[in-house]
């Protein structure tokens, strides 16, 4: 099978998809608005001529169409509706698959008529739409962007051979206590709320050493570091920058508590990975996280952007090693049965084959 992905070659998720299907013996190419390299995959990086990302996308739309028709894939698959998805819709190539990631359908169309029109245009031209979570699928159906026959809920999933309880190297209760965040340091992730919660945690737990580890980078790193300095908590924080996907299980296997602050998510893969590695999960109370956490049972939820409530949940978790240990097998069962990368990719391959057998709403494959 020849598969062409329209997707950001720098994204770990693009890399995982492309490597997986290339490893299955398929001929895989990636057309990307960003430069990048993926082992075993041909990457076509489009030139950056204009100073703004969105303008570059518009500038390169014609080039995307020409490249796709030169590649002539059996399946064209775009990731992220309002950029690569829109570009793919304009190619006229079928069968055409679009994957919604989260913000592209949950946030942007809700605040901009232009983006609503773009989403509607793109998804109506897709033979198959995949969404990362049930709440995303329901929104797509409610807004009339897709039909029930056209959409499949398909979490990206966790590589359970890599993220699992065997990576657990630090028993719960062993000191120092470690609280980990792996979200990017940008405006959309609300990492500031965790930083603002730290003084409250430190004031309550004075008899135990605690480390707060931020494993992520982004445009707001200096600003967030400034917040930490102003709050005088720099000495208990480690800003590690980007941690490779390969090394992430080691970090999560040492975490007592994992915190996800993002106020919007499709499927929270970072949360899934932490749960698989036995870290106690605390996350913002949004649909994406309610799908995985029953607050008080296998983790905690807190109101978005509420530093005081987040601090209270962290304090409760850090003071309850027995609870942290008790949820580990339950969370592993949840992830291994409902969020397996291997199972998701098997389903995606089945969908590709279904499309190629001509069951894609009668589109012309030529």
Indicate the fold that domain 165-338 takes in CATH.
Rossmann fold (3.40.50)
Give the pTM.
Answer: 0.87
N-term to C-term CA, the chain: 15
Peptide bond into 299 cis (omega under 30): no
Peptide bond into 95 cis (omega under 30): yes
Report yes or no: 229 and 236 within 8 Å, Cβ to Cβ. no
Full DSSP string of 253-275: TT-SEEEE--S--SS-HHHHHHH
Q: Convert the pLDDT of each residue in 133-167 to its tens digit.
A: 999 999 999 999 999 999 999 999 999 999 999 99
Report yes or no: 15 and 9 within 8 Å, Cβ to Cβ. yes
Strands, E, within the chain: which ranges? 2-6, 27-32, 42-45, 75-79, 96-100, 128-131, 151-153, 177-181, 210-214, 237-239, 257-260, 280-284, 300-302
At residue 214, the pLDDT reads: 98
| CA pair distance 6, 181, nearest whole angstrom | 29
At residue 363, the pLDDT reads: 44
In this structure, the number of other CB atoms found within 10 A of the CB of residue 76 comes to: 26
Q: With bands split at pLDDT 50, 70 and 90, how would you rate the model's confidence at 49? A: low
| CA pair distance 84, 310, nearest whole angstrom | 36
Domain ranges of the chain: 2-157+341-356, 165-338
At residue 75, the pLDDT reads: 97
At residue 52, the pLDDT reads: 61
At residue 110, the pLDDT reads: 87
Inform me whether the pLDDT recorded for 361 exceeds 80: no
At residue 91, the pLDDT reads: 96
Q: What is the CA radius of gyration of the chain?
A: 21
Report yes or no: 249 and 167 within 8 Å, Cβ to Cβ. yes
The encoded tokens of residue 48 equal 């950056």
Indicate the fold that domain 2-157+341-356 takes in CATH.
Rossmann fold (3.40.50)
The encoded tokens of residue 80 equal 């992220």
| CA pair distance 198, 310, nearest whole angstrom | 9
At residue 287, the pLDDT reads: 92
Average pLDDT of every residue of the chain = 93
Q: Which of 23-27, 56-60, 111-115 has the lowest mean pLDDT?
A: 56-60
Q: Which of 52-56, 111-115, 148-152 has the lowest mean pLDDT?
A: 52-56
State percent of the chain over pLDDT 70.
96
Per-residue pLDDT, averaged over 33-58, amounts to: 82
Q: Convert the pLDDT of each residue in 268-281 to its tens digit.
A: 999 999 999 999 99
Per-residue pLDDT, averaged over 319-332, amounts to: 97
In this structure, the number of other CB atoms found within 10 A of the CB of residue 364 comes to: 7
Examine domains 2-157+341-356 and 165-338 and report if their fold is the same: yes
């Amino acid at each position: 099978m020849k598969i062409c992905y329209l997707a950001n070659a720098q994204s770990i998720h693009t890399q995982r998809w492309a490597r997986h299907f290339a490893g299955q013996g398929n001929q895989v190419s990636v057309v990307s608005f960003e430069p990048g390299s993926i082992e075993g995959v041909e990457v076509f990086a489009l030139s950056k001529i204009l100073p703004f990302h969105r303008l570059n996308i518009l500038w390169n739309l014609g080039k995307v169409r020409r490249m796709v028709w030169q590649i002539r894939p059996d399946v064209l698959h775009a990731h992220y509706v309002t950029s690569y998805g829109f570009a793919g819709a304009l190619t006229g190539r079928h069968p055409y698959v679009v994957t919604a990631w989260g913000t592209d359908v949950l946030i942007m169309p809700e605040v901009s008529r232009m983006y609503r029109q773009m989403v509607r245009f793109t998804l109506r031209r897709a033979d198959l739409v995949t969404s990362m979570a049930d709440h995303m699928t329901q929104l797509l159906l409610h807004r009339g962007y897709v039909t029930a026959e056209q959409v499949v809920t398909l979490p990206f999933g966790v590589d359970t051979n890599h993220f699992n309880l065997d990576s657990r190297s630090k028993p719960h209760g062993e000191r120092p206590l470690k609280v980990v965040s792996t979200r990017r340091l940008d405006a959309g992730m609300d990492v500031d709320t965790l930083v603002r919660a730290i003084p409250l945690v430190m004031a309550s737990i004075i008899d135990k050493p605690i480390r707060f580890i931020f494993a992520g980078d982004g445009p707001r790193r200096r600003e967030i570091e400034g917040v930490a300095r102003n709050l005088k908590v720099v000495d208990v924080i480690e800003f590690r920058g980007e941690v490779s996907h390969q090394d992430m299980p080691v970090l999560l296997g040492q975490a007592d508590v994992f915190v996800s602050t993002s106020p919007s998510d499709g499927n929270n893969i970072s949360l899934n990975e932490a749960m698989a590695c036995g870290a106690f999960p605390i996350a913002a109370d949004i649909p994406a996280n309610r799908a995985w956490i029953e607050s008080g049972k296998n983790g905690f939820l807190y109101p978005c952007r509420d530093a005081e409530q987040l601090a209270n949940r962290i304090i409760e978790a850090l003071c309850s090693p027995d609870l942290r240990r008790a949820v580990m097998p339950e969370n592993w069962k949840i992830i291994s049965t409902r969020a397996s990368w291997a199972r998701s990719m098997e389903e995606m391959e089945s969908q590709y084959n279904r499309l190629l057998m001509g069951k894609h709403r009668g589109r012309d494959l030529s």
